[in-house]
Amino acid sequence: MYSKDDLNKVVLGDARDILLGFPNSFFDCTITSPPYWKLRKYTGETVDPREIGQEARVEAYVLHLLEVFDLVHKKTKHTGSLWVNIGESFSGGRPLGVPEWFLHMMTRTRPWILVNKVIWYKVDAMAESQTRRFSQKWEPFYWFVKNMDTYYFNQEAAKIPVTKVTVERMKYDFKPSDKLAVSRMRGIVGNQSDKIDMYLEKGVNCGDLWAMPTAKVKVKHVAPFPEALVARPLVATCPDDGVTLDPFAGTGTVQRATLKLGGGRSTIGIDLNPPAVEEANELLKEVKLQPGLF
């Protein structure tokens, strides 16, 4: 059985086996990006049979993901959150609707509660050579909780700045007779427009469309999370002294971001791919030497 002393590393193994070794109601916040179905072979040409994403049928892939998130549910506190960035899978060039399917299964056949369907708009998405459909520029990032009444959310920590230009424009647009302008104004500054300065200082709700570039870190492992994408859920849904988890940790982006944020937070990552685990733990060592950088 793992305890607090075993934290702050990426553990090698199948997420379904390793998670069993943690106490129930242990984690505060899971942020993860599972492998896509049939896109990459993370464990090499002689694929590890436990690798998720290599199933012959997409149905089996979705069920394997659910096995992992069933365990995550058990191991999450009642105040906890789960964030899943899941990409589309294709068969014969046809999108299979995997994110929607996964969402349906998580909320209709499992006890997870959906809070937000965040869109990650990849501002620097690579051009695809598609001739029969539009190329993909975004992915969903689903936010689930265990309990709608008790989940932890620090909205203040994830606010974004309002620019002076925006507020000036809103003031200019504001005509009490114009109902649309009034409601837009209220959306930005609340009911009392004399509080504009306060909103300028504190910022506004960042909304559910997150325009962020893809990861630029120099890691051998493919498809890492961009740290900025992890940072927002982390500050908003992991309290001080909380524990984060990534059951598909890859290069350990969630682990690095958690330790950089500090505040007594700790973290665990799990991955099946030995070279990725080795690299993730090397990168984590560098962060441990330089805390408080975030």
Ligand X SMILES: C[S@@+](CC[C@H](N)C(=O)[O-])C[C@H]1O[C@@H](n2cnc3c(N)ncnc32)[C@H](O)[C@@H]1O
The whole-angstrom separation of Cα 186 and Cα 184 is: 5
Contacts of 192 (CB under 8 A, 6+ apart): none
Closest to ligand X by CB, 120 or 196: 120
DSSP assignment string, 119-174: EEEETTPPPP--SSSPPP-EEEEEEEES-TTT----TGGG-BPPPHHHHHHHHHH-
Residue nearest to ligand X (CB): 250
Binds ligand X by CB under 6 A, chosen from 61, 112, 225, 258: 225
Closest to ligand X by CB, 199 or 226: 226
Query: What does the block give as tokens for 80?
Result: 């906890």
Binding to ligand X (CB under 6 A): which residues in 21-80? 33, 35, 42, 50-52
CB of 64 to ligand X, least distance (A): 7
Q: Which amino acid is at 139?
A: E
Binds ligand X by CB under 6 A, chosen from 14, 28, 139, 279: 14
Phi-psi region of 70 (alpha: psi -120 to 50; beta: other; left: phi over 0): alpha
Question: Is position 267 an interface residue for ligand X (rule: CB under 6 A)?
Answer: no
Burial of 291 (0-12, 13-18, 19+ CB in 10 A): exposed
H helical segments located in 45-108: 58-75, 98-108
CB of 248 to ligand X, least distance (A): 3
CB of 237 to ligand X, least distance (A): 17
Binds ligand X by CB under 6 A, chosen from 7, 15, 238, 261: 15
Look up residue 24 and give its DSSP letter. S
Binding segment for ligand X among 132-140, 151-159, 183-191, 247-255 (CB under 6 A)?
Answer: 247-255
Binds ligand X by CB under 6 A, chosen from 80, 99, 140, 224: 224
CB of 191 to ligand X, least distance (A): 41
- List residues binding ligand X (CB under 6 A): 14-15, 33, 35, 42, 50-52, 221, 223-225, 247-248, 250-251, 253, 270-273, 276
